[in-house]
Amino acid sequence: MQEIKEEKNIKKAEQKSNIDKTVKLFFLLLTSVCAAVIIVVMAFIIYKGVMPFIKSYTENGNTGTASLSYFLTGLRFQNGFDSTTGQFLYGVGFLVVNTLFLNLLAAIISVPTSILTSLFIARIAPSFLAKIIQSGIDLLAAIPSVIYGVFGIGVIVPMVKSIARNVFQISSASGISLLSGAIILALMSIPTMISVSVTSLKSVNEEMVKGSLALGASKTQTNFKICLRSAKSGIFAGIILGIGRALGEATAISMVCGSPTYGITTNIFNPTVTLTSQMLLALGEAVTDSLNYDIRFSAGIVLMLIILISNLILNDVKDHVSAINKKPLMITRFVLYTSNLFKKLSQKFKGLKDSSNELIR
Protein backbone atom coordinates (compact mmCIF):
# COMPACT_ATOMS: atom_id res chain seq x y z
CA MET A 1 0.00 0.00 0.00
CA GLN A 2 2.73 2.41 1.07
CA GLU A 3 4.76 1.58 -2.04
CA ILE A 4 1.87 2.25 -4.35
CA LYS A 5 1.37 5.63 -2.70
CA GLU A 6 5.04 6.49 -3.10
CA GLU A 7 4.96 5.44 -6.74
CA LYS A 8 1.98 7.68 -7.26
CA ASN A 9 3.81 10.55 -5.63
CA ILE A 10 6.82 10.01 -7.85
CA LYS A 11 4.59 9.96 -10.92
CA LYS A 12 2.94 13.18 -9.79
CA ALA A 13 6.30 14.84 -9.27
CA GLU A 14 7.41 13.72 -12.73
CA GLN A 15 4.26 15.15 -14.23
CA LYS A 16 4.85 18.37 -12.38
CA SER A 17 8.38 18.70 -13.67
CA ASN A 18 7.13 17.96 -17.19
CA ILE A 19 4.57 20.71 -16.86
CA ASP A 20 7.28 23.01 -15.56
CA LYS A 21 9.41 22.30 -18.58
CA THR A 22 6.61 22.95 -21.07
CA VAL A 23 5.64 26.17 -19.30
CA LYS A 24 9.26 27.29 -19.38
CA LEU A 25 9.47 26.50 -23.08
CA PHE A 26 6.23 28.36 -23.66
CA PHE A 27 7.60 31.45 -21.99
CA LEU A 28 10.81 31.10 -23.96
CA LEU A 29 8.70 30.97 -27.11
CA LEU A 30 6.88 34.17 -26.16
CA THR A 31 10.20 35.90 -25.49
CA SER A 32 11.56 34.74 -28.82
CA VAL A 33 8.49 36.13 -30.59
CA CYS A 34 9.12 39.48 -28.90
CA ALA A 35 12.78 39.42 -29.90
CA ALA A 36 11.89 38.35 -33.42
CA VAL A 37 10.13 41.69 -33.96
CA ILE A 38 13.41 43.53 -34.36
CA ILE A 39 14.76 40.90 -36.73
CA VAL A 40 11.63 41.05 -38.90
CA VAL A 41 11.74 44.84 -38.95
CA MET A 42 15.40 44.93 -39.94
CA ALA A 43 14.99 42.19 -42.54
CA PHE A 44 12.03 43.91 -44.17
CA ILE A 45 13.60 47.34 -44.17
CA ILE A 46 16.74 45.99 -45.80
CA TYR A 47 14.91 43.71 -48.25
CA LYS A 48 12.45 46.38 -49.36
CA GLY A 49 15.05 49.13 -49.27
CA VAL A 50 17.50 47.32 -51.54
CA MET A 51 14.78 46.38 -54.04
CA PRO A 52 14.59 49.77 -55.85
CA PHE A 53 18.20 49.34 -56.98
CA ILE A 54 17.75 45.78 -58.21
CA LYS A 55 14.20 45.31 -59.42
CA SER A 56 12.94 47.37 -62.34
CA TYR A 57 9.78 49.40 -61.79
CA THR A 58 7.37 50.96 -64.22
CA GLU A 59 6.35 54.52 -63.47
CA ASN A 60 4.76 57.03 -65.86
CA GLY A 61 5.47 54.74 -68.78
CA ASN A 62 9.17 54.39 -68.05
CA THR A 63 10.79 51.22 -66.82
CA GLY A 64 14.01 50.95 -64.91
CA THR A 65 15.73 50.77 -61.54
CA ALA A 66 16.58 53.63 -59.24
CA SER A 67 19.98 55.22 -59.62
CA LEU A 68 22.14 54.55 -56.55
CA SER A 69 24.56 57.41 -57.17
CA TYR A 70 21.73 59.91 -57.50
CA PHE A 71 20.04 58.39 -54.46
CA LEU A 72 23.08 59.14 -52.32
CA THR A 73 23.93 62.56 -53.73
CA GLY A 74 20.72 63.91 -55.26
CA LEU A 75 19.34 67.31 -54.41
CA ARG A 76 15.72 66.53 -55.29
CA PHE A 77 13.62 63.70 -53.90
CA GLN A 78 11.78 63.00 -57.12
CA ASN A 79 13.66 64.06 -60.23
CA GLY A 80 11.89 62.04 -62.91
CA PHE A 81 13.51 59.57 -65.26
CA ASP A 82 16.96 59.70 -66.79
CA SER A 83 16.49 58.31 -70.28
CA THR A 84 20.22 58.12 -71.08
CA THR A 85 20.95 55.63 -68.30
CA GLY A 86 17.42 54.23 -68.05
CA GLN A 87 17.22 54.90 -64.33
CA PHE A 88 14.80 56.72 -62.06
CA LEU A 89 16.24 59.64 -60.18
CA TYR A 90 15.25 59.62 -56.53
CA GLY A 91 17.60 61.47 -54.20
CA VAL A 92 18.00 61.57 -50.44
CA GLY A 93 21.47 63.09 -50.16
CA PHE A 94 20.13 66.56 -49.38
CA LEU A 95 17.70 65.06 -46.88
CA VAL A 96 20.58 63.55 -44.94
CA VAL A 97 22.38 66.88 -44.77
CA ASN A 98 19.18 68.66 -43.74
CA THR A 99 18.45 66.07 -41.05
CA LEU A 100 21.94 66.35 -39.61
CA PHE A 101 21.86 70.14 -39.68
CA LEU A 102 18.45 70.29 -38.02
CA ASN A 103 19.52 67.88 -35.30
CA LEU A 104 22.77 69.73 -34.73
CA LEU A 105 20.84 72.94 -34.25
CA ALA A 106 18.41 71.19 -31.91
CA ALA A 107 21.32 69.71 -29.94
CA ILE A 108 22.90 73.14 -29.57
CA ILE A 109 19.71 74.24 -27.83
CA SER A 110 18.88 71.08 -25.94
CA VAL A 111 22.25 69.88 -24.62
CA PRO A 112 23.20 72.91 -22.47
CA THR A 113 19.61 73.30 -21.32
CA SER A 114 19.28 69.69 -20.23
CA ILE A 115 22.70 69.58 -18.53
CA LEU A 116 22.07 72.72 -16.52
CA THR A 117 18.49 71.75 -15.71
CA SER A 118 19.48 68.31 -14.50
CA LEU A 119 22.25 69.86 -12.38
CA PHE A 120 19.66 72.19 -10.92
CA ILE A 121 17.24 69.36 -10.19
CA ALA A 122 19.82 66.99 -8.75
CA ARG A 123 22.10 69.33 -6.82
CA ILE A 124 21.04 72.94 -6.50
CA ALA A 125 17.29 73.28 -6.17
CA PRO A 126 15.48 73.00 -2.84
CA SER A 127 13.61 69.72 -2.75
CA PHE A 128 10.11 71.08 -3.37
CA LEU A 129 11.27 73.07 -6.40
CA ALA A 130 13.17 70.05 -7.70
CA LYS A 131 10.02 67.97 -7.35
CA ILE A 132 7.93 70.52 -9.23
CA ILE A 133 10.40 70.78 -12.08
CA GLN A 134 10.90 67.02 -12.19
CA SER A 135 7.18 66.36 -12.53
CA GLY A 136 6.95 69.13 -15.12
CA ILE A 137 9.68 67.43 -17.13
CA ASP A 138 7.92 64.08 -16.76
CA LEU A 139 4.77 65.66 -18.15
CA LEU A 140 6.73 67.14 -21.05
CA ALA A 141 8.03 63.66 -21.81
CA ALA A 142 4.50 62.28 -21.92
CA ILE A 143 3.15 64.86 -24.37
CA PRO A 144 2.74 63.26 -27.80
CA SER A 145 4.61 64.69 -30.75
CA VAL A 146 1.50 65.87 -32.62
CA ILE A 147 0.68 68.19 -29.73
CA TYR A 148 4.20 69.58 -29.97
CA GLY A 149 3.45 70.11 -33.65
CA VAL A 150 0.24 72.01 -32.89
CA PHE A 151 2.09 74.11 -30.31
CA GLY A 152 4.83 74.73 -32.85
CA ILE A 153 2.39 75.98 -35.47
CA GLY A 154 0.44 78.05 -32.97
CA VAL A 155 3.28 79.62 -30.98
CA ILE A 156 6.81 78.90 -32.22
CA VAL A 157 6.16 79.54 -35.91
CA PRO A 158 4.62 83.03 -35.40
CA MET A 159 7.41 83.82 -32.93
CA VAL A 160 10.15 82.86 -35.39
CA LYS A 161 8.31 84.74 -38.12
CA SER A 162 8.23 87.96 -36.14
CA ILE A 163 11.89 87.57 -35.15
CA ALA A 164 12.89 87.02 -38.76
CA ARG A 165 10.85 89.96 -40.00
CA ASN A 166 11.60 92.48 -37.29
CA VAL A 167 15.10 91.62 -36.17
CA PHE A 168 16.68 90.15 -39.28
CA GLN A 169 14.60 92.11 -41.82
CA ILE A 170 13.70 89.03 -43.86
CA SER A 171 10.33 90.08 -45.19
CA SER A 172 9.61 86.79 -46.96
CA ALA A 173 9.95 84.63 -43.85
CA SER A 174 6.83 82.64 -43.06
CA GLY A 175 8.05 81.22 -39.76
CA ILE A 176 7.76 77.66 -41.05
CA SER A 177 11.46 77.07 -40.89
CA LEU A 178 14.50 75.12 -39.81
CA LEU A 179 14.71 77.15 -36.61
CA SER A 180 11.13 76.37 -35.57
CA GLY A 181 11.83 72.69 -36.17
CA ALA A 182 15.01 72.85 -34.12
CA ILE A 183 13.24 74.51 -31.19
CA ILE A 184 10.44 71.94 -31.20
CA LEU A 185 12.91 69.08 -31.56
CA ALA A 186 14.98 70.44 -28.68
CA LEU A 187 11.88 70.70 -26.50
CA MET A 188 11.00 67.12 -27.31
CA SER A 189 14.43 65.68 -26.58
CA ILE A 190 15.09 67.65 -23.38
CA PRO A 191 12.98 65.40 -21.09
CA THR A 192 14.77 62.23 -22.26
CA MET A 193 18.18 63.78 -21.73
CA ILE A 194 17.26 65.16 -18.31
CA SER A 195 15.77 61.98 -16.88
CA VAL A 196 18.96 60.01 -17.56
CA SER A 197 21.42 62.67 -16.45
CA VAL A 198 19.52 63.45 -13.24
CA THR A 199 19.90 59.83 -12.15
CA SER A 200 23.62 59.87 -12.77
CA LEU A 201 24.07 63.27 -11.09
CA LYS A 202 22.20 62.03 -8.03
CA SER A 203 24.47 59.02 -7.74
CA VAL A 204 27.70 61.03 -7.62
CA ASN A 205 29.95 59.81 -4.82
CA GLU A 206 29.15 62.00 -1.78
CA GLU A 207 32.69 61.63 -0.41
CA MET A 208 34.08 63.29 -3.48
CA VAL A 209 31.66 66.20 -3.02
CA LYS A 210 32.55 66.53 0.63
CA GLY A 211 36.25 66.36 -0.17
CA SER A 212 35.90 69.19 -2.65
CA LEU A 213 33.98 71.29 -0.14
CA ALA A 214 36.61 70.57 2.54
CA LEU A 215 39.35 71.78 0.22
CA GLY A 216 37.68 75.17 0.17
CA ALA A 217 35.77 75.02 -3.09
CA SER A 218 32.44 76.74 -3.03
CA LYS A 219 29.22 74.79 -3.49
CA THR A 220 28.75 76.01 -7.05
CA GLN A 221 32.35 75.18 -7.93
CA THR A 222 31.83 71.70 -6.55
CA ASN A 223 28.65 71.28 -8.53
CA PHE A 224 30.22 72.35 -11.77
CA LYS A 225 33.71 70.91 -11.40
CA ILE A 226 33.13 67.73 -9.42
CA CYS A 227 29.55 66.60 -9.94
CA LEU A 228 29.30 67.36 -13.64
CA ARG A 229 32.65 65.76 -14.35
CA SER A 230 32.05 62.59 -12.42
CA ALA A 231 28.57 62.19 -13.92
CA LYS A 232 29.91 62.80 -17.42
CA SER A 233 29.24 59.36 -18.81
CA GLY A 234 25.65 59.31 -17.53
CA ILE A 235 25.00 62.73 -19.00
CA PHE A 236 26.43 61.57 -22.30
CA ALA A 237 24.20 58.51 -22.22
CA GLY A 238 21.21 60.82 -21.81
CA ILE A 239 22.35 62.98 -24.71
CA ILE A 240 22.78 59.92 -26.91
CA LEU A 241 19.29 58.72 -26.07
CA GLY A 242 17.78 62.15 -26.68
CA ILE A 243 19.49 62.62 -30.02
CA GLY A 244 18.46 59.13 -31.08
CA ARG A 245 14.85 60.03 -30.34
CA ALA A 246 15.15 63.36 -32.11
CA LEU A 247 16.56 61.80 -35.27
CA GLY A 248 13.56 59.51 -35.60
CA GLU A 249 10.94 62.17 -34.94
CA ALA A 250 8.56 62.66 -37.85
CA THR A 251 5.14 64.23 -37.36
CA ALA A 252 6.04 67.37 -35.42
CA ILE A 253 8.88 68.11 -37.81
CA SER A 254 6.73 67.67 -40.86
CA MET A 255 4.22 70.10 -39.35
CA VAL A 256 6.59 72.98 -38.51
CA CYS A 257 9.37 72.60 -41.09
CA GLY A 258 7.38 72.84 -44.29
CA SER A 259 7.93 70.82 -47.43
CA PRO A 260 10.31 72.30 -49.98
CA THR A 261 10.95 69.79 -52.72
CA TYR A 262 14.67 70.18 -53.18
CA GLY A 263 17.91 71.61 -51.96
CA ILE A 264 20.00 71.86 -48.84
CA THR A 265 18.68 74.48 -46.43
CA THR A 266 21.40 76.65 -44.93
CA ASN A 267 19.36 79.67 -43.87
CA ILE A 268 17.72 78.87 -40.55
CA PHE A 269 14.67 80.96 -41.44
CA ASN A 270 13.90 78.92 -44.56
CA PRO A 271 11.74 75.81 -44.64
CA THR A 272 13.53 72.50 -44.71
CA VAL A 273 12.67 68.89 -45.39
CA THR A 274 14.24 66.01 -43.50
CA LEU A 275 14.39 62.27 -44.07
CA THR A 276 11.47 61.55 -41.78
CA SER A 277 9.24 64.34 -43.01
CA GLN A 278 9.93 63.35 -46.61
CA MET A 279 8.93 59.79 -45.76
CA LEU A 280 5.57 61.08 -44.50
CA LEU A 281 5.06 63.52 -47.38
CA ALA A 282 2.62 62.62 -50.13
CA LEU A 283 2.29 59.15 -48.76
CA GLY A 284 -1.34 58.97 -49.78
CA GLU A 285 -0.41 59.28 -53.44
CA ALA A 286 2.15 56.52 -53.28
CA VAL A 287 0.78 53.08 -54.13
CA THR A 288 2.14 50.01 -52.40
CA ASP A 289 4.83 48.22 -54.41
CA SER A 290 5.48 51.28 -56.53
CA LEU A 291 8.95 52.78 -56.68
CA ASN A 292 7.74 55.93 -54.91
CA TYR A 293 6.65 53.75 -51.99
CA ASP A 294 9.61 51.39 -51.88
CA ILE A 295 12.16 54.19 -52.06
CA ARG A 296 10.89 55.23 -48.63
CA PHE A 297 12.31 51.99 -47.30
CA SER A 298 15.67 52.90 -48.76
CA ALA A 299 15.33 56.24 -46.99
CA GLY A 300 14.50 54.20 -43.88
CA ILE A 301 17.79 52.31 -44.19
CA VAL A 302 19.62 55.62 -44.49
CA LEU A 303 17.80 56.91 -41.41
CA MET A 304 18.71 53.82 -39.39
CA LEU A 305 22.32 54.12 -40.54
CA ILE A 306 22.42 57.77 -39.46
CA ILE A 307 21.04 56.86 -36.05
CA LEU A 308 23.48 53.96 -35.72
CA ILE A 309 26.52 55.95 -36.78
CA SER A 310 25.69 58.96 -34.64
CA ASN A 311 25.15 56.61 -31.70
CA LEU A 312 28.51 54.96 -32.34
CA ILE A 313 30.32 58.28 -32.59
CA LEU A 314 28.67 59.69 -29.49
CA ASN A 315 29.35 56.50 -27.56
CA ASP A 316 32.95 56.75 -28.60
CA VAL A 317 33.14 60.33 -27.37
CA LYS A 318 31.47 59.21 -24.16
CA ASP A 319 34.12 56.54 -23.62
CA HIS A 320 36.76 59.13 -24.40
CA VAL A 321 35.59 61.68 -21.85
CA SER A 322 34.30 59.32 -19.15
CA ALA A 323 36.23 59.43 -15.89
CA ILE A 324 36.68 55.73 -15.27
CA ASN A 325 37.62 53.80 -18.39
CA LYS A 326 39.11 56.47 -20.55
CA LYS A 327 39.74 55.51 -24.14
CA PRO A 328 41.29 57.48 -26.98
CA LEU A 329 38.87 58.55 -29.70
CA MET A 330 38.04 56.10 -32.43
CA ILE A 331 39.84 58.22 -35.01
CA THR A 332 42.99 58.32 -32.87
CA ARG A 333 42.76 54.58 -32.35
CA PHE A 334 42.32 54.08 -36.07
CA VAL A 335 45.24 56.34 -36.94
CA LEU A 336 47.46 54.65 -34.35
CA TYR A 337 46.44 51.23 -35.60
CA THR A 338 47.10 52.07 -39.24
CA SER A 339 50.42 53.77 -38.48
CA ASN A 340 51.49 50.74 -36.47
CA LEU A 341 50.42 48.54 -39.33
CA PHE A 342 52.45 50.60 -41.76
CA LYS A 343 55.43 50.51 -39.46
CA LYS A 344 55.25 46.76 -39.19
CA LEU A 345 54.79 46.39 -42.93
CA SER A 346 57.68 48.68 -43.72
CA GLN A 347 59.86 46.79 -41.27
CA LYS A 348 58.89 43.54 -42.90
CA PHE A 349 59.48 45.06 -46.31
CA LYS A 350 62.86 46.33 -45.12
CA GLY A 351 63.74 42.90 -43.84
CA LEU A 352 62.66 41.43 -47.14
CA LYS A 353 64.77 43.94 -49.01
CA ASP A 354 67.75 43.23 -46.78
CA SER A 355 67.41 39.50 -47.22
CA SER A 356 66.96 39.87 -50.98
CA ASN A 357 69.99 42.14 -51.10
CA GLU A 358 71.90 39.49 -49.21
CA LEU A 359 70.68 36.87 -51.62
CA ILE A 360 71.80 38.92 -54.61
CA ARG A 361 75.18 39.30 -53.03
Partner 1 sequence: MNSSANSLNKQIADFNHSNKKRRIRDFFSAGSTYLFSSFSLIALIAIIVFIFSKGYSTLSWDFLTSDYRSEIVNVETNSEVTVATNTFEYTPGDNEYFASNWGISFVDSKNTEGNSIVLVKYVDSKANTDSWINSSSQDPFTLKEGDNITSAQLWTSNDPDTSRVIVVSSSSGAEKMCKGFAECSYLKTMTITSKGGGIRGSLISTLYLILITMSIALPLGIGGAVFLGVYADTLPTRFKKIANILRSLIDMISGIPSIIFGLVGGVVFLTLFGQKGNLITGGLTLACMILPIIIKSTEEAIRTIPKNMPLASLALGASQTQTTFKIIIPNALPGILTSALLGIGRVIGESAALIYTSGTAIQDYIIPTQGSASLAVHIWSLMSGDNQNIEASCAISIVILFVILFLSLLIKLLSMKINRYQKGK
Residue 63: enclosing H or E segment and its boundaries? strand 62-66
Site string for partner 1, 98-137 (x = CB under 8 A): --------------xx--xx-xxx--xx------xx--xx
Q: Which of 7, 8, 11, 39 binds partner 1 (CB under 8 A)?
A: 39
Site string for partner 1, 235-274 (x = CB under 8 A): ---------x--xxxxx--xx-------------------
Which alpha helices (H) appear in the chain, and where do they start and end? 2-50, 68-73, 93-119, 127-142, 145-151, 157-166, 178-202, 206-214, 219-222, 228-230, 232-248, 251-256, 275-280, 291-321, 330-360
Q: How many residues bind partner 1 (CB under 8 A)?
A: 83
Least CB distance from residue 115 to partner 1, whole Å?
Answer: 8
Contacts with partner 1 in 282-341 (CB under 8 A)? 283-284, 288, 296-297, 300, 303-304, 307
Q: Which stretch binds partner 1 (CB under 8 A): 56-64, 85-93, 140-148, 197-205?
A: 140-148
Q: Which of 35, 215, 359, 360 binds partner 1 (CB under 8 A)?
A: 35
Q: Is 155 in the site for partner 1 (CB under 8 A)?
A: yes
Measure the CA angle with vertex 336, ends 332 and 337; round to 5°: 115
Is the separation of the CB atoms in 90 and 74 below 8 Å?
yes
Contacts with partner 1 in 181-240 (CB under 8 A)? 187, 190-191, 194, 218-221, 223-224
Q: How far apart are CA 217 and CA 220, in angstroms?
A: 8
Q: Which of 269, 297 has the CB closer to partner 1?
A: 297
Is the separation of the CB atoms in 232 and 319 below 8 Å?
no
Residue 89 is given by DSSP the state E
Q: Is 158 in the site for partner 1 (CB under 8 A)?
A: no
Residue 53: enclosing H or E segment and its boundaries? none
Q: Which of 222, 270 has the CB closer to partner 1?
A: 222
